[in-house]
Structure 1
């Protein structure tokens, strides 16, 4: 028996680098997957590739009405919604705070923070109707410390941490668990392609060589942890945060000379 047989999972940003990894893994574990996103071409193509038990729905995470339509589609097509993965996110071009325009600030917080808030708000009644379930918010190691030139993104991911804990408190008695994963540098277009308005990608000035596990993370590294947190195996875990960064936050792994 698969871990997610007869369950329905909605993944936002579901056709992206990490999102598509999550969608494929849930589907392989028996879930009905609802691929939420604004790129209809990629989302529909992924649903067609997976075939049965996969459905694309257009979802603008900054719009509450769009959320209501997506959650309604999940229940209409598959009967219930059992798991929500708040995966959609955007990055700001790297600039100092004093050079960050308000429109950029608002856009990053709208997607990364308000999108997560609206997902919890709209999905909670559906998860309650399903007699419980799980919400997993995808944060970032940038939400665990300051990072120069990324103020909007850092602020949004710090706020997701408090939102996760608050939702965990509010929804626990309804058998709805809420947890967060904070990935480090994961090898996806998000890392290898410049953010809108930027000329360089994060990968252009980051090397994992000094760190404990000297490689970039892979989407599957995050997906494996996500599957655990969304499953009944994690039934006693809520309001918690999990870092998956290969030791990035530990700092450089300096090797002592051996005589």
Structure 2
């Protein structure tokens, strides 16, 4: 619906690329004033400039709760409020066998993927509770809802987001704050390639192609998912059509978590 969010102020963390960028673009298209928060200043500033009026960029490391608090306070003070918070920023752990993993990136992954989501939810909710309500979406992954090998720290962090989201939804409902999670799967974004830290460019390309082929073979819907598909789920959950929905985890994965695709007919 055009201009559905015309009177809304939205923050999207990790908003400079991938799913975050698509979410910023869609909210802006639907009339919202949007803050893209990201650690990548070049991409973030380019995005805000390309969208023009009602688009803003803030450089933020969500692994620092104080910086997240500053982001929310600055948004409220300069833009007049905060109605929707999308905690999307995340990083992947390294793609390696669990027995060979030294778990050295545990603190970094958890600080961004879990603490960042918790801080974003808390700071946004403190304002929303005083302002009469709001909507929060936390980005998890089918890697956090379905078991599987590889990137164990990433999977654990995304599973934590699921449980936190449901718990926050229960506690914040009394303030008319809705909290939901989205679990994307099989969505081409730069996140998968980032798990190849320490590999050559050729190795990263090979591993990414291999993983994506496995994803395609496990997906019932033949169409490839896009960041826009996830962004549309975000606007559904935070808009008027999702006004009675809270505490859910919505897979956006082409049916992957529902079950295996049927064999092709000969």
Give the TM-score, by structure 2 length.
0.91
Distance (Å, rounded) in 1 between the aligned partners of 2:37 and 2:194: 22
Q: Does 1:29 align with 2:35?
A: no
What secondary structure, in the 3-state scheme, does the structure 1 residue paired with 2:58 have? Answer: strand
Q: Give, in whole Å, the separation in 2 of the partners of 1:146 and 1:85.
A: 25
| Residues 48-103 of structure 1: CA deviation (Å, up to 9, x unaligned) | 11111111111111111101111112112210011000100111112233322232
Counterpart of 1:240?
248
* Cα distance in 1, alignment partners of residues 195 and 83 from structure 2: 35
Distance verdict in 2 for CA 1:203–1:110, change over 3 Å: farther
Tell me the equivalent position of 1:223: 231
Q: Which moved more, 1:6-15 or 1:207-216?
A: 207-216
Gaps in structure 2 of 5+ consecutive residues: none
1:101-140 equivalent positions in 2, closer than 5 A: 101-140=102-141
- 2:92–2:194: 8 Å Cα contact kept in structure 1? no
Aligned to 2:210: 204
Alpha-carbon distance between aligned partners in 1 of 2:112 and 2:233, rounded to the nearest angstrom? 23
- 1:1-259 to 2 correspondences below 5 Å: 2-191=3-192, 194-198=195-199, 199-200=203-204, 201-207=207-213, 208-209=216-217, 211-255=219-263
RMSD: 1.7
- TM-score calculated relative to the size of structure 1: 0.93
Q: Give, in angstroms, the shift of residue 113 of structure 1.
A: 0.8
Question: Is the 8 Å Cα contact of residues 69 and 120 (structure 2) preserved in structure 1?
Answer: no
Secondary structure of 1:102 counterpart: coil
Q: Is the 8 A contact 1:185 1:191 kept in 2?
A: no
Contact 2:92/2:192, CA 8 A, preserved across alignment = no
Q: Quick one: structure 1 residues 38 and 193, their matched pair in 2 at CA, closer, same or farther if it must change by over 3 Å?
A: closer
The number of residues matched between the two structures is 258
Q: 1:57 is paired with a residue of what secondary structure?
A: strand
What CA distance in whole angstroms lies between the structure 2 residues aligned with 1:35 and 1:186? 20
Contact 1:180–1:239 under 8 Å retained in 2:
yes
